[in-house]
Structure 1
Amino acid sequence: MTVSETGGRSGDDKPARAANIFDVARLAGVSHQTVSRVLNNVPNVRPATKARVEQAIAQLRYSPSPAARALVTRRTRTIGLITPGRSEYGPTSIAVNFNIAARAARFSVDTVSALDSDPSGVRAIVESLLRQRVDAIVLVVSDIAVLDVVLGLELSIPLVAVVATSRRSPAIVSIDQYRGARAATRHLIELGHRSIVHLAGPTEAPDAIERLRGWRDEMTAHRLVVGEVSHGDWSAKSGFELGMQLEGIEPGTAVFAANDYMALGLVSALHARGLRVPEDVSIVGFDDVPEAAYLLPPLTTVRQDFASLGGLVMQKVLIAIEEPDTATETTPLPTTLVVRESTRAV
């Protein structure tokens, strides 16, 4: 398998910018979460570490912003996490890894499933979490219509949205679905395929929208025909059903499926139609679910680093709580193409 400064004065005697929590962390040689724990007198910080942080604070004359300190005094050390109502691999992995990162920062997580992805339903959940006095809210966006509504809310606490989108905002964290899709499509093109079908996810799903956009742009960049797109619902069943219905699937064709489970269903459908993978049809999925390496054949796919995403989301939350004036846009995390046996050259 292959896997493709600080306080004081500057040199021209002009006042330098005030030190922030990251300057303290850098000087003390610790994470900004550790600095936060020392500032808030959280237990379980080693005496030597605490002394180093306090020395850095004194040396830099660091003082947290009044707004941040006021917020600290009202903390519950609880974060509200809103996830989609369906147990899909991506959102579930995000939730698990965010919980791990939150526990490491000594926060608890109150998770609520949005059974209805309608913006008004999500707004009601946000209002419910506000009544519970959470310190921040993290929203895993499964419907693109929700994003503008939620980001437009005037909240008294930070909100971080986990969503695949070309839009950039200090409140958005994501994995680069678009470039992942382009890499998947490019892999098939480099193998010699010229007819590449895309089996897309739900039309309203941000991940599906970005993966579709990536496939289309890569095809266009190579002057290949962009055909009709079929949409599934992320399930293996939908992949199977679409695989049985798709016309034009014949030896020499390749398929980029928007997720691994739809790819799994597609492999089964092609077998039922008398087509072999990869001898007749090459298939690439997306996500690198744990089962992907054990399918027959093992699935070429695009891996997402959900552990890094969970940590990045928690970092965003801490910045928004402790140093809101330093919040900046975050570059989407990269994906990795994992080449296995479901693709071959033609």
Structure 2
Amino acid sequence: MLGHATADIVSRSIIDSLKSDGVDITKMLMLERDNPNVNKAIEDILNKEVVAERKKNELTKSLPLKNDFLRHLQYLQPFPRQRESFRTSITYLSRHVPYLLTNEEVDRVGVGWCVYQMADIPEEWFRKTTVSSDQIIEYLPIDKYWYRIFSTATSIGTPQYVVLTKLVKYLLYLSHGNNDRSSLNEASINGLRATKAAVKFFGGGKVHAVPATSTLISKVKDAYSRYTKDNEQQQKLIKKEETQLINEQKTLQEELTKATNMLEEGTTRLAAAMKNKKFDDIGTAEVLVTAANAKLIKNNENLNRLRKKERKKINN
């Protein structure tokens, strides 16, 4: 039956047969390894299977496949919202976020979620409109979607989802891969290290287990104000540097124009002097041409230096 089968099919058949018979492949490799009559091809097949099995076991241990909190977080996606199980998930999340909601607020989260499920939400709030013929669907970041939900008001102008907003904002603070890319400079790396150390100390390595105390919230607010202040100062410095670069470029451009005019004048004088055989004028023209060429070389060097500075600024 396997006479004309490929090596891959044969090896897979051997592995399946061994597994169906309950043979431990790792123990099988330990038997008679020093025997010269052992089939090397079979040994290679078993070795590959053992490596694959170890990788699978390692991934099973390391990935959060049994983390209920993460499983329930998926229901914050904008679709579909109407399933009854989603309300169970949002209730689970509201009860398992430490020190955030009271029992009364947990109940109000459930009510708010029911209102949210019945709300008429435009598709453009979470889906990008594309005009391409390939019909590829692109979705907006989840934080932008929920920002629009938070902005929803009742008929009298009050916020529609007060407690639900409080919960979802907290959940969106958790680390996820939907953020815009940020440059991994020294300041951001140190910030990530400090955050990781704090999560390990206060929450045992689990972000959602970190107590949301009033002190923590106050520190976060202070951190944002400090960040805003530092960012404003940084923008002022950048603007100042940009102004200096523009002024320097303007000055170099003016010098370039002067040097070009000087070169043209010297060239014209030199041609006229040579035509009329006026040797004194030839010397004067050569001085103008030499000075103009030196000025152009220096100007080009300064322009190249300025361009490098601008490229470096853009890359940073």
Q: Calculate the TM-score normalised by the size of structure 2.
A: 0.21
Q: Which has the higher helix share?
A: 2
Q: Which has the higher strand share?
A: 1
* Bigger radius of gyration among the two: 2
Q: Calculate the TM-score normalised by the size of structure 1.
A: 0.20
